[in-house]
Amino acid sequence: MGSSLARTPAIPIIVHGLVSHATLNPTGGVDGFEGNSQALSLKFPFRRNMGFREFGILDLEGNLFTGKLPSGFVGFVGSFFKLRGLYLANNKLNGTVPAVLGSKCQYFQHLDLSGNSLLGGIPYTLGNCRRLRMLLLFSNKLNGEIPRELGQLGSLEVLDISRNFINGMIPSELGHCAELSVLVLSSLFEMWPNDKNKNRKVSVSLPTVANHEYNHFQGSIPTEITALPKL
Q: What is the pLDDT of residues 163-180, one digit of tens each?
A: 999 888 888 899 899 999
For residue 142, what pLDDT is reported? 96
3-state secondary structure the chain: CCCHHHHCCCCCEECCCCCCEEEECCCCCEEEEECCCCCEECCCCCCCCCCCCCCCEEECCCCCEEECCCHHHHHHHHCCCCCCEEECCCCEECCECCCCHHHHCCCCCEEECCCCCCECCCCHHHHHCCCCCEEECCCCCCEECCCHHHHHCCCCCEEECCCCEEEEECCHHHHHCCCCCEEECCCECCCCCCHHHCCCCCCCCCCCEEECCCEEEECCCCHHHHCCCCC
| pLDDT at residue number 66 | 86
Domain extent for 124:
8-226
Structural domain includes residue 2? no
Domain assignment present for residue 74? The answer is yes
CATH of the domain at 184: 3.80.10.10
The band of 188, judged by pLDDT with boundaries at 50, 70 and 90, is: low
Report if residue 3 sits inside a domain. Answer: no
If you average pLDDT over every residue of the chain, what do you get?
72
Res 149 pLDDT > 90: yes
Residue 167, strand partner residues: 216
In a domain, 182, yes or no: yes
- Give the pLDDT confidence of 32-47 residue by residue, as tens digits: 333 333 445 555 444 5
Q: What is the pLDDT of residue 220?
A: 60
Does any domain span residue 13? yes
The answer to whether residue 1 is domain-embedded is no
The answer to whether residue 215 is domain-embedded is yes
pLDDT tens digits along 36-83: 334 455 554 445 544 555 668 888 888 888 888 887 788 888 887 788
pLDDT-derived band of residue 153, with 50, 70 and 90 as boundaries? very high
In a domain, 138, yes or no: yes
Predicted confidence (pLDDT) at residue 146 exceeds the cutoff of 90: yes
State the total domains in the chain. 1
pLDDT per residue over 92-129, tens digit each?
A: 999 999 999 998 888 899 999 999 999 999 999 999 99
